[in-house]
């Protein structure tokens, strides 16, 4: 079972050493320490450099797989330099070739404590590395499965589970509402709550429609285990299954982003820290990062609609954004408005329903009515999602309301 401890270890390596780097990652994570390793943990469509910097910001230790390849790798050198510049990351060179660092690499690594893994077998070297990491992060060093399970239990906050009938939509919604209310009571922020409920909704809907074809003879098992820093979601259906690898590849390669079918899994992939498939796609597990925060729900979650000159500004609410957006746009189109600014400041993620509504309204406003839609106050996560789906080619995305107003005024005057 995958589980997470808040401290992260960044694994830096040359592509020629990918096999041993992935072995190191697997060994470390089996002992309960979360690793960040590329390309596994780079979100689809994300900027590679931004992903590296974001990962280093969350990292307390970096393992450098040092070899003749990494010694001359510009990418590894940049990662090491950035880690040192941030001043909080401990560098652990793990030497697999009998060479010494040269050039700039010598400058950065020569004073570090080295772990030599030149001689076979590798297992003792892996054990030494894990022991060193745990010492640095001040973590316990359990080795048995019972001890690992015990620590995992300590990290657990609450476990919600249900068995639902694929033909019963109410059971689906009741479970999501129950999870949402529990996350609220535990005082997680709106971003965490929205991400978790969005992933739950997409996975359950996928299991109901594609896995079980809404058959009342089948069942869907759902678990949402809330930890201190993440939610572990498991959705298992009794349907016919599918090939996850082929399906995800086909969805990513699709040029028709306006279609509704299949988009849910891609959204889940964007919002999840980790997404895994097993049992021929009948079992899907997702890890969603959680954080505490003051939601200020009475002030920030409400939607607003107002106009400036000939422009409509829609501030989407944090909940039920799809219904609010659809009603507001329809009303304003009836009043002959053609310029829309969508303010995302209260919304941190997006479900397939809202995605579809955006596409439908964009086509109507842009192609049929000659109008325009501009986004403002888009979060970094949402921007990556929009960019991954090609939305930046369709909508003008600005980062402030003032920029959006100026763009519409100057580009599309009355």
pTM for the model stands at 0.52
Q: What six digits make up the tokens of 324?
A: 């609010």
Confidence of residue 395 (pLDDT cuts 50, 70, 90): confident
Residue 237 has pLDDT above 90, yes or no: yes
What does the pLDDT average to over 324-333? 80
Query: Phi/psi zone of residue 55: left (φ > 0), alpha (ψ -120 to 50 degrees), beta?
Result: alpha
What does the pLDDT average to over 301-322? 81
**pLDDT value at position 255?**
52
Q: Count Cβ atoms below 10 Å from residue 216 Cβ, excluding itself.
A: 10
Residue 207 has pLDDT above 80, yes or no: yes
Least confident of 24-33, 196-205, 208-217: 24-33
Residue 25 has pLDDT above 70, yes or no: yes
Residue 10 has pLDDT above 70, yes or no: yes
Percent of the chain with pLDDT over 70: 85
Helix/strand/coil for 127? helix
Which residues lie closer than 8 Å to 362 by C-beta, 6 or more apart?
Answer: 373, 394, 395
Cα angle: 207, vertex 212, 215; to 5 degrees: 130
Distance between CA atoms of residues 291 and 228, nearest Å: 8
Confidence of residue 386 (pLDDT cuts 50, 70, 90): confident
Distance between CA atoms of residues 65 and 94, nearest Å: 5
Q: Could you give all domains of the chain from N- to C-terminal order, each with its CATH number? A: 8-141 (3.40.50.10140), 154-289 (3.30.565.10), 297-411 (3.30.750.24)
- Which DSSP category does 89 fall into? P
- Which DSSP category does 243 fall into? -
What does the pLDDT average to over 232-257? 75
Of the CA atoms within 13 Å of residue 156, those in its CB half-sphere come to 13
Arithmetic mean of pLDDT over the chain: 80
DSSP β-ladder status, 230-237 and 220-227: antiparallel
Distance between CA atoms of residues 43 and 269, nearest Å: 8
Helix/strand/coil for 37? coil
**pLDDT value at position 142?**
41
Distance between CA atoms of residues 337 and 322, nearest Å: 19
**pLDDT value at position 346?**
80
Distance between CA atoms of residues 371 and 369, nearest Å: 5
Residue 191 has pLDDT above 90, yes or no: no
Confidence of residue 11 (pLDDT cuts 50, 70, 90): very high
Distance between CA atoms of residues 197 and 222, nearest Å: 13
Longest distance between any two alpha carbons in the chain, whole Å: 76
Q: Taking Cα atoms as reference points, which of 87, 76, 67, 77 lies closest to residue 37?
A: 76
């Amino acid at each position: 079972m995958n589980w997470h401890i808040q401290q992260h270890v960044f694994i830096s390596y040359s592509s020629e050493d990918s096999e041993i780097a992935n072995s190191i990652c697997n060994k470390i994570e089996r002992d309960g320490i979360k690793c960040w390793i590329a390309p596994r943990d780079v979100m689809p469509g994300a900027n590679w450099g931004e992903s590296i910097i974001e990962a280093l910001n969350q990292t307390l230790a970096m393992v450098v797989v040092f070899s003749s390849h990494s010694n001359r790798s510009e990418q590894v050198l940049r990662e090491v330099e950035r880690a040192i510049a941030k001043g909080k990351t401990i560098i652990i060179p793990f030497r697999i070739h009998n060479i010494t660092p040269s050039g700039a690499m010598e400058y950065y690594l020569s004073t570090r404590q080295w772990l030599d893994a030149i001689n076979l077998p590798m297992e003792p070297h892996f054990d030494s590395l894990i022991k060193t990491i745990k010492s640095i992060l001040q973590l316990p060093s359990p080795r048995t499965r019972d001890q690992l399970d015990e620590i995992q239990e300590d990290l657990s906050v609450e476990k919600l589970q249900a068995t639902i009938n694929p033909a019963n939509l109410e059971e689906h919604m009741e479970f999501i509402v129950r999870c949402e209310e529990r996350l609220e009571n535990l005082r997680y922020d709106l971003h965490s709550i929205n991400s978790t409920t969005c992933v739950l909704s997409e996975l359950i809907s996928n299991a109901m429609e594609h896995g079980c074809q809404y058959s009342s003879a089948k069942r869907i098992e759902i678990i949402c285990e809330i930890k201190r820093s993440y939610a572990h979601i498991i959705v298992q259906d009794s349907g016919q299954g599918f090939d996850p690898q082929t399906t995800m590849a086909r969805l990513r390669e699709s040029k028709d982003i306006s279609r509704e079918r299949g988009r849910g899994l891609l959204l889940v992939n964007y919002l999840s820290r980790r997404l895994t498939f097993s049992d021929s796609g009948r079992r899907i597990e997702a890890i969603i990062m959680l954080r505490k925060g003051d939601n200020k729900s009475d002030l920030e979650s409400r939607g607003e609609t107002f106009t400036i000159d000939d422009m409509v500004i829609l501030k989407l609410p944090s909940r039920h954004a799809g219904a609010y957006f659809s009603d507001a746009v329809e009303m304003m189109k009836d009043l002959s408005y053609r310029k829309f600014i969508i303010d995302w400041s209260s919304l941190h993620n997006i479900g397939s329903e809202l995605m579809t509504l955006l596409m439908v309204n964009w086509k109507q406003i842009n192609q049929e009515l000659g109008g325009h839609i501009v986004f403002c106050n888009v979060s970094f996560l949402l921007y990556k999602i929009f960019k991954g789906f090609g939305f930046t080619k369709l909508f003008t995305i600005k980062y402030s309301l003032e920029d959006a107003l100026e763009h519409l005024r100057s580009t599309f005057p009355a």
